[in-house]
């Protein structure tokens, strides 16, 4: 039987989230106008945008406070002139990931789990990102090139968990995700699939009924690790989107980065943990910033991180305290600081 014409047309229309991703804010001037800010007070660096373009989804920008240069959401995405600072300890491949890259698109660093750079782009460009200098072009095989990565997973029975990262795996189309999940589920020793994604937080419209069906269909356990650095990122719409994913039976965790002037104070971290909990998400990791070039203005010391965790322990139940970690090149797991 042929499909009704209307449903064919509807399936070709871009969904709301796709429209949002095709209309990102990419010019400092536009963001300044939206926020009513004067660019001469904190000029954007053209060199910074040139090496790592500005990309901000509108629903995220709408959560920023107008007229406030210190807004914790704005500071995560503003291409500040400090990005041009040259600091010898900050390098372009701080994790030396290229040495754990046996086939394109796959990182095998830790026991029992591999990470796939499943999608070459993100919905947002976070200025502290450790992958800002990553060669996605060389590391995103595309559908046909995936065979080597899938063969690698099939050949190693110790791989139980596949982590879909990026970029952002949920920036992919449902069709592509459906295909990739199907391939991974066909490997008998893969029992768990994990998404590392910022999309449900920055564009909650991504959590559509179609995506939910696709994720629920899976025979394997799914974990969704979102990425949120400040409680203000979690408005009611984001909270609703995350709660539906929890209701669907996925394990929801959060990782954050400890960022100077954004969340390196106890009230912000307490609020973040509490709001995550309201959205059915538990804090997982609090990363010290990776030592990547262009991020000197975000760096927080290990000592300060430890002090902050100690203060959180006075204020929150144990299950709302994230693990303070740093990624060290060559270590067999993330290095627990506290
Ligand atoms: C962080 C990371 C993982 C996952 O580590 P967990 O401790 O299991 O969260 C896996 N592979 C790579 C390359 C990573 O960077
Ligand atoms: S969403 Fe993640 S990978 Fe993408 S720019 Fe932000 S921190 Fe980097």
Select from 328, 294, 225, 308 the least CA-distant residue to 262. Answer: 308
Ligand 2 atom nearest to CA at 123: 1
Q: Closest Cα to atom 3, ligand 2: which residue?
A: 167
CA of 183 to the centre of ligand 2 (A): 25
Question: Which residues have any ligand 2 atom within 6 Å of their CB?
Answer: 122, 124-126, 129, 131, 166, 168, 198, 227
227 close to 197: Cβ distance less than 8 angstroms: yes
Q: Give the contacts of 46 (CB within 8 A, at least 6 positions apart).
A: none
Please give the distance, rounded to the nearest whole angstrom, from the Cα atom of residue 163 to the centre of ligand 1. 8
Rounded CA separation 139/100 (Å): 12
User: Model pTM?
Assistant: 0.94
Instruction: Tell how far the Cα of 67 is from the centroid of ligand 1, in angstroms.
Output: 38
Q: Please tell me the class of the 97-336 domain.
A: alpha beta
What residues in the chain have per-residue pLDDT under 70?
Answer: 1-12, 142-144
Query: Which residue ranges make up each domain of the chain?
Result: 18-84, 97-336
Cα separation, 85 vs 103, in Å, equals 34
CA of 128 to the centre of ligand 2 (A): 8
Closest ligand, as measured to the CA of 57? 2
Cα(3) to centroid of ligand 2, in Å?
A: 39
CA-closest residue to ligand 2 atom 4: 122
- Point out the ligand nearest to the CA of residue 108: 1
Ligand 2 centroid to residue 287 C-alpha, Å: 13
End-to-end CA distance of the chain: give it in Å, rounded.
Answer: 61
pLDDT of residue 12: 67
Q: Where are the alpha helices (DSSP H) in 136-207?
A: 136-139, 142-145, 147-155, 174-185, 199-202
For the CA of 165, the nearest atom of ligand 2: 3
């Amino acid at each position: 039987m042929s499909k009704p014409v209307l449903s064919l047309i509807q399936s070709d229309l871009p969904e709301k989230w796709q429209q949002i991703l095709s209309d990102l804010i990419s010019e400092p001037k536009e963001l300044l106008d939206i926020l009513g800010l004067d660019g001469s007070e904190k000029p954007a660096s053209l060199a910074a945008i040139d090496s790592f373009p500005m990309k901000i989804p509108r629903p995220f920008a709408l959560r920023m406070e107008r007229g406030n240069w210190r807004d914790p959401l704005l500071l995560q995405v503003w291409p500040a002139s400090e990005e041009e600072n040259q600091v010898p300890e900050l390098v372009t491949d701080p994790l030396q990931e290229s040495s754990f890259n046996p086939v394109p698109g796959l990182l095998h660093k830790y026991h029992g789990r591999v990470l796939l750079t499943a999608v070459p782009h993100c919905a947002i460009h976070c200025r502290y990102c450790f992958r800002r200098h990553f060669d996605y072009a060389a590391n995103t095989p595309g559908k046909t090139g995936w065979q080597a990565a899938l063969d690698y997973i099939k050949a190693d029975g110790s791989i139980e968990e596949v982590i879909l990262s990026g970029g952002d795996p949920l920036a992919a189309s449902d069709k592509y995700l459906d295909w990739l999940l199907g391939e991974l589920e066909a490997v008998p020793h893969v029992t768990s699939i994990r998404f590392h994604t910022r999309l449900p937080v920055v564009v909650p419209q991504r959590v559509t009924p179609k995506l939910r069906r696709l994720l629920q269909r899976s025979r394997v356990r799914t974990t969704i690790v979102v990425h949120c650095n400040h409680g203000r990122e979690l408005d009611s719409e984001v909270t609703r989107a995350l709660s539906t994913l929890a209701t669907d039976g996925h394990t929801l965790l959060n990782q954050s980065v400890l960022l100077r002037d954004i969340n390196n104070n106890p009230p912000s971290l307490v609020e973040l943990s509490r709001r995550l909990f309201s959205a059915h998400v538990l804090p997982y990791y609090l990363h010290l910033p990776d030592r990547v070039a262009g991020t000197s203005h975000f760096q927080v010391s290990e000592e300060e991180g430890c002090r902050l965790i100690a203060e959180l322990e006075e204020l929150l139940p144990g299950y709302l305290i994230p693990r303070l970690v740093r990624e060290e090149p060559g270590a067999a797991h993330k290095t627990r600081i506290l």
